Structure 1
Amino acid sequence: MRKIVIAGNWKMFKTQAESQEFLEGFLPTLQQTPDEREVVLCVPFTDLSALSKNLHGSVVQLGAQNVHWEESGAYTGEISGPMLTEIGVRYVIVGHSERRQYFGETDTTVNLRLKAAQKYGLTPILCVGETKEQRDAGETEFLISTQLEKDLVDVDQTNLVIAYEPIWAIGTGDTCETKEANRVIGLIRSQLTNPNVPIQYGGSVKPNNIDEIMAQPEIDGALVGGASLEAAGFARIVNYK
């Protein structure tokens, strides 16, 4: 059976004080999730240690937003796998479109980060997806297939989550039609050697569309951006029926 993974990506939001305030509003409203449903908060590096302590004993897992491929070294601004696992991080986002767009992430570096995450016991959430220009040009299938082919070289698919994030639907208010998201995620699954890899949808996931999204047979969860910053709204997403 495929696991459901609902992950909040806080991006560059929330100080430690704000993260504590979020948890005070979020954890009490969180219903006991079924064994097959995982809840993850992927937070800024400065919040990780504090949340690790505050999430102890809860059903929520801690995630980071990046990991370097080396254990240590002269890599200013980066963070290594051992640094993350030491404070209880379980998941890490790799290859998010914003990393690819703004920070020069390539399929080569994404592949290195994926393998490093797994080496140090982290479960990577690999992000793939297309821009509006690429979709309009009919390149969605080719682009995603190419990303998967390059990103997953020598990656263990038994310890992996994939997020399909149509870039044109991130932070824009536009949401990919659920049937289309389901179709693309089915395409992604057809290229995997392990059919049980959880595949999330990420792109303007909201409390008012999560039920429709999760009703699709190929979708195994959501990677939630802005809607994960508000405790009540994210609780509604996590507690979808």
Structure 2
Amino acid sequence: MRRPLVAGNWKMNGSLESIKSLLDGVKAGMSDVKQAEVAVCAPAIYLPAVQQQLQGSDIAWGGQDVSAEASGAYTGEISTSMLKEFGCKYAIVGHSERRAYHAESDDTVARKYAAARAAGLIPILCVGETLEEREKGITESVVARQMDALINLEGVAALADGVIAYEPVWAIGTGMTASPEQAQEVHAFIRGRVAALDAGVAEGLRILYGGSMKPGNAQELIAKPDIDGGLIGGAALDAGDFLGICTAAN
């Protein structure tokens, strides 16, 4: 049985004061989280504070991005060894905002996944379509292309060491949410594509929904057979909302 994962992505939000308050609130409510694994992915500059506050707790943490390069003249980049040094377990790669605003290609994302995996981090590979792509009826081909870049580079077995997050880009920060049926359809496609190559990897692969999951819709989404939790944006910035999603995974 796949253990649900609820991972908060704080994006470019937070301060030392707000992070302390947020994590104090989340830690206080963890006794009600019976099933889900919980993680938070913080801005890199705040990872030392997150490590200090979460060390010894049941909450994991990670980076919102990571470089494919080990070290060198890559100004502004964060390497896998840097994330590891601050106790990170996870690293998000290929978030739709990185693809759109920083022109990250499928190949670049695949290399980042490979680097994170090689360093012992658990990469969270984000895939998903824009509204225009959905309206054209090419959701599956877009998601397949994004997945295949990694599979072609590392082989399908690499997915056994990571997580996939399906992000319908049109449902992020827009107030729109894919229906549970729409989300399940794409999650099932993702698992089926992996299963065609390796049924064992597909069975163990956690696939998260990353399109504006909230306490009000989390239970219905996570109840779907191929949705194994959520990659949470805005709701992860409120301890009560985030805990509501985590307890929905029970």
Q: TM-score, normalised by structure 1?
A: 0.96
Q: 2:183 aligns with which of 181, 184, 187?
A: 181
> Can you list the C-alpha shifts for 1:146-183, whole angstroms capped at 9, x where unaligned?
11111332051221100000000001111101011111
Aligned to 2:4: 4
Is residue 65–residue 91 contact of structure 2 (8 Å, CA) maintained in 1?
Answer: yes
**In 2, Cα distance between the equivalents of 1:65 and 1:154?**
21
RMSD, aligned α-carbons: 1.2
> Can you list the C-alpha shifts for 1:203-226, whole angstroms capped at 9, x where unaligned?
111111111111111100100000
Map of 1:67-146 to 2, 5 A cutoff?
67-146=66-145
The offset of 1:129, in angstroms, is 0.3
> Equivalent pairs: percent with the same residue?
45
1:212 aligns with 2:211: no
SS in 1 for 2:154: coil
The offset of 1:33, in angstroms, is 3.7
Aligned to 1:38: 37
**In 2, Cα distance between the equivalents of 1:215 and 1:31?**
21
SS in 1 for 2:20: helix
**In 1, Cα distance between the equivalents of 2:145 and 2:24?**
42
Is residue 181–residue 201 contact of structure 1 (8 Å, CA) maintained in 2?
Answer: yes
Q: Which amino acid aligns with 2:44?
A: F
Q: TM-score, normalised by structure 2?
A: 0.93
1:235 aligns with 2:243: yes
The offset of 1:87, in angstroms, is 1.0
**In 1, Cα distance between the equivalents of 2:36 and 2:237?**
20
Q: Any gaps of 5 or more consecutive residues in structure 2?
A: none
**In 1, Cα distance between the equivalents of 2:107 and 2:241?**
36
Is residue 208–residue 229 contact of structure 2 (8 Å, CA) maintained in 1?
Answer: yes
The offset of 1:18, in angstroms, is 1.4
Indicate the structure with greater helix content.
2
Aligned pair count reads 240
**Closer, same or farther: CA 18–223 of 1 in aligned 2, 3 Å:** same
Runs of 4+ in 1 over 6 A off after TM superposition: none
**In 1, Cα distance between the equivalents of 2:2 and 2:25?**
29
Is residue 6–residue 229 contact of structure 2 (8 Å, CA) maintained in 1?
Answer: yes
Q: Any gaps of 5 or more consecutive residues in structure 1?
A: none
